[in-house]
Amino acid sequence: MNVFRSIVLPAMVVLLMALGACGGGGSSGESPFVLCGNGHLDQGEKCDDGNTLDSDDCLSTCVLAVCGDGFVDLNSEECDGDALRGRDCSTLGYAAGKLICSATCRFDTSQCGPAFTPTPTVLATGTPTPTATPTPLTRCGNGVLESGETCDACPGDCSVSACSAVAPGVTVSVSYDSPDDSIAGLTVLVGYRSSVANLPGSGSMASVAARVKNKPSNAITAVNDLDYALRVVLSRANPIPLGRIFTIDFDACDTAPPPAAVDFGCTVEGCANRFGRVDGCTCVVTVGGQ
């Protein structure tokens, strides 16, 4: 018994003290779980916009998007490194060549060109005809702003018609649907016929953002007007409810018929929950804000 008291009991005391030092059963030394895409700027994150998209200003790893990171920021970049968004010289109106991305993340077509070199034709007099330098044909919708165009990747004939005057405005309502009811990040492109409806200003100007209303509560919103379409990015810590997500107040041109649903279009460019991308999201535009 004396041996037990002199050896075993002190050993048990030391063991209990060691367990106490390790904080067993306590929670004061634990770190909170950090999840990128929850809409909160947690420790170690440079940004957190509430989604896990790699096509906006904050990447799915919660670091700020920069030119050269290999991901195309649709708000400011045409390409990034080898990421060319499926474009090549032929899709940009050239016959052949290699499309590259510049150091400023813009398309560089300097290596694009015709697929052949024409040879001079010799006339009967023996004087060769001058060899014209072939140039790519201007093509609306090839992603390049060329001579005679005021925009590209825009509807119609690649010209933006400005409204010289405005009639009473029109409100459109944008709604979305998804196979997943836990969507926390959404990027929507609302196209509009600029000869019928228009917005004051362009880009991310405050006058444009002020026209986007009735957004989900506590949603972080980014708005960018392309003069033929309006890109709206929504992110939220909690799921974005299905149905109407915002309304847009447009100016209507007094020289055109009242805007109708056919004058607008809607595309979901990005849709994600807290864990990643979700496919199958759709959106619709209705006139009247209902």
Q: What is the pLDDT of residue 290?
A: 45
- List the one residue out of 164, 196, 187 whose CA is nearest residue 261: 196
In the beta sheet, which residues pair with residue 101? 107
Q: What is the pLDDT of residue 206?
A: 87
The verdict on residue 34 lying in a domain is no
Percent of the chain surpassing pLDDT 90: 30
Q: Which two structure tokens, joined as six digits, stand for 21? A: 């030092």
Q: What is the pLDDT of residue 24?
A: 44
pLDDT in tens, 13-28: 444 444 444 444 444 4
111-117 contacts at long range (C-beta below 8 A, 24 or more positions apart):
112/136, 113/89
Q: What is the pLDDT of residue 139?
A: 55
Mapping DSSP to helix (H, G, I), strand (E, B) and coil, where does residue 12 land? helix
Query: Which DSSP string do the residues of 116-160 spell out, in sequence order?
Result: S-PPPPBPTTSPBPP-----PPP-TTSS---TT-S-SSSSTTS-P
pLDDT in tens, 43-53: 888 898 887 88
The verdict on residue 135 lying in a domain is no
Q: What is the pLDDT of residue 284?
A: 94
Q: What is the pLDDT of residue 126?
A: 54
The verdict on residue 207 lying in a domain is yes
Q: Which pTM value belongs to this model?
A: 0.47
The verdict on residue 246 lying in a domain is yes
Mapping DSSP to helix (H, G, I), strand (E, B) and coil, where does residue 226 land? coil
CB count, 10 Å around CB of 15?
Answer: 10
Q: What is the pLDDT of residue 114?
A: 60
In the beta sheet, which residues pair with residue 282? 177
Q: What is the pLDDT of residue 240?
A: 95
Burial 114-125 (b: 16+ CB within 10 A, else e): eeeeeeeeeeee
The verdict on residue 198 lying in a domain is yes
The verdict on residue 155 lying in a domain is no
pLDDT in tens, 89-133: 877 777 778 999 999 998 888 888 764 444 444 555 555 555 545
- pLDDT < 50 positions in the chain: 3-4, 8, 13-31, 115-121, 132, 134-135, 153, 155-157, 165, 289-290
Q: What is the pLDDT of residue 6?
A: 53
- List the one residue out of 241, 242, 245 whose CA is nearest residue 232: 245
The verdict on residue 24 lying in a domain is no
Give the burial class of 28: count Cβ atoms within 10 A of its Cβ; 0-12 exposed, 13-18 middle, 19 or more buried.
exposed
Strands (DSSP E) found in the chain:
96-97, 100-101, 107-108, 112-113, 166-177, 185-192, 197-198, 212-213, 220-225, 229-235, 243-253, 264-273, 276-277, 282-287
Strand 166-177 vs strand 243-253: parallel, antiparallel, or unpaired?
antiparallel
The verdict on residue 115 lying in a domain is no
| Distance separating alpha carbons of residues 149 and 140, to the nearest angstrom | 8
Task: Find the domain containing 227 and state its range.
Answer: 166-287
How many domains are contained in the chain?
1
- List the one residue out of 140, 134, 143, 137 whose CA is nearest residue 116: 134
Q: What is the pLDDT of residue 267?
A: 92
CATH number of the domain that 272 lies in?
Answer: 2.60.40.680
